[in-house]
Structure 1
Amino acid sequence: MKALILVAGHGSRLKSVAGETPKSLIEINGKALLDRQIETMTALGVKRICLATGFRHEVFASRYGERVDFRYNPFYRDCNNIVSFLFARDWMTGDDLLVCYGDLIYDPELLAAAIQSPADIGLVVDRSRVEEGHALVSLKDAAVAAVGPSVPAESADARFVGITKLSAAAVSHLMPATEAALRAGKLRDYYLAGIQILMEQGHRVEPIDVSGLRWSEIDLPADLAAARALWGSHREK
């Protein structure tokens, strides 16, 4: 098992509280979000980690050096993470894979659920949080039917947590599907556009439900304040 962590974004909506600090390096209880993810992955047996970088690549390179691999997206200001994902296409093949957003903090059990899932393609979801303005998931016959920010809240069953588990075979299918999405002009889409194409082609995508476990995604100053309240030092496990 290896893991690609997407950290290329500028995080402009957090600039008022983070300044020029990449949002994956924002600290909660004195530890950066990305440090937590890497530590959790390593503790759970993930053997190799790659950072898909863009904004302030040099900060990541200096901080993590030879501990991880890097794939740099020079177009990060003009695209979404679908492009960063494809810049790492050569690195992702040959093993089961986790794809994770870099602005997450979560209970270790949440990542363990993804790693232990037998799904070829599994999306980590929280059925207790259907929140408009985020990537949402609709389900049909116990499988994912649609995923992305365009899924209406009224027809959604869960929120996408920001972690995908892929078997090695699924990775080989996802690459051409994601490239097709990019050729179709989806430059500002998430890499989930490739997964949506796979579903349309008949591939089954399983939900990995982590309802009840703690997790936070840090996009806005309000998210950061809520996360610091949820993960205050007296609340850490």
Structure 2
Amino acid sequence: MIRTAVIMAAGMGTRFGTMTEERPKGFIEAGGKAMVVRSIETLISCGIERIIIGTGYLREAYEELAKQYPQIECCFSPRYAETNSMYTLYNCREMIGDEDFLLLESDLVFERRAITALMTCEHPDVMLITPVTKFQDQYYVESNDQGVLTNCSVNKDELNYKGELVGIHKLSGAFYKKMCADYAQKVDELPKLGYEYQLLYMSQHISPVFVLCEEGLKWYEIDDIDDLKFAEEHIIQYL
């Protein structure tokens, strides 16, 4: 069983405008509860005992949350304004150590099945996808006949996509170490790299990432007010 999860929560959430002036994006409420709190409670209910949160913008909110949940450990990234999610994940490497872990973003709402499906998947390194359901900002994912990640893009015309990225993954400690070793060679050149593109590079050149498609999974990534409205109208009731 995987006992560790890592939540990416360093971003500034600028697409929410004034809603994130005094709180990080993960603390925006969807259906009356902060998104990140929903995720934390779901993770704990699935047996996760350690939750590492990669913080940056308004880190204090997560440090206060850690006082309520003993499972939480915060890893601050002082370069959050000039970097992206791969740097935040890389910055957590000493805290993660050799652990296998679940990786997710702070701005998601999702069914518990998203976690249990990854935990029970036989493959050690897995990207969760679903058939395309979002009305905007889709991130399309392609895999080969063996189910291995081969391409991804925000432009569906660039690939033979099998679904869209959810933003929840399972990574082995061995894979993560290789991932960090490779990124260490290009961190100065690519400080704004998203972790999903590093996962793609790894799968194409170093170690395969399996793509798991969960049909009918209820989830949403909430990046702006329109996303929030859609999620509250169509998703929250099923969680």
Rounded to whole Å, the distance in 2 between the matches of 1:87 and 1:17 is 27
Is 1:88 the equivalent of 2:92? yes
Rounded to whole Å, the distance in 2 between the matches of 1:193 and 1:236 is 31
| Residues 143 and 150, structure 2, Cα contact 8 Å, conserved in 1 | yes
Q: Which residue of 2 aligns with 1:15?
A: 17
Unpaired segments ≥5 residues, structure 1: none
Aligned partner of residue 63 in structure 1, secondary structure: helix
Rounded to whole Å, the distance in 1 between the matches of 2:229 and 2:20 is 12
Q: Among 208, 220, 229, which residue is 1:225 paired with?
A: 229
Rounded to whole Å, the distance in 1 between the matches of 2:172 and 2:71 is 24
Q: What is the percent sequence identity of the aligned residues? A: 23
TM-score (norm: length of structure 2): 0.89
Against the structure 1 CA distance between its residues 207 and 166, is the aligned structure 2 distance closer, same or farther, given a 3 Å change threshold?
same
Amino acid corresponding to residue 201 of structure 1 in structure 2:
H
Is 1:192 the equivalent of 2:196? yes
| Residues 4 and 98, structure 1, Cα contact 8 Å, conserved in 2 | yes
Q: Which residue of 2 aligns with 1:161?
A: 166
Q: How much does 1:128 deviate?
A: 3.1
Rounded to whole Å, the distance in 1 between the matches of 2:76 and 2:97 is 17
Q: Which residue of 2 aligns with 1:29?
A: 31
Against the structure 1 CA distance between its residues 127 and 236, is the aligned structure 2 distance closer, same or farther, given a 3 Å change threshold?
closer
Q: Which residue of 1 aligns with 2:104?
A: 100
Rounded to whole Å, the distance in 2 between the matches of 1:196 and 1:145 is 7
Aligned partner of residue 36 in structure 2, secondary structure: helix
Amino acid corresponding to residue 105 of structure 1 in structure 2:
V
Q: Among 35, 58, 65, which residue is 1:63 paired with?
A: 65
| Residues 177 and 195, structure 1, Cα contact 8 Å, conserved in 2 | no
Q: Which residue of 1 aligns with 2:40?
A: 38
Against the structure 1 CA distance between its residues 104 and 132, is the aligned structure 2 distance closer, same or farther, given a 3 Å change threshold?
closer
Amino acid corresponding to residue 56 of structure 1 in structure 2:
L
Aligned partner of residue 58 in structure 1, secondary structure: helix
Aligned partner of residue 51 in structure 2, secondary structure: strand
TM-score (norm: length of structure 1): 0.90
Q: How much does 1:104 deviate?
A: 0.3
Q: Among 167, 172, 176, which residue is 1:171 paired with?
A: 176
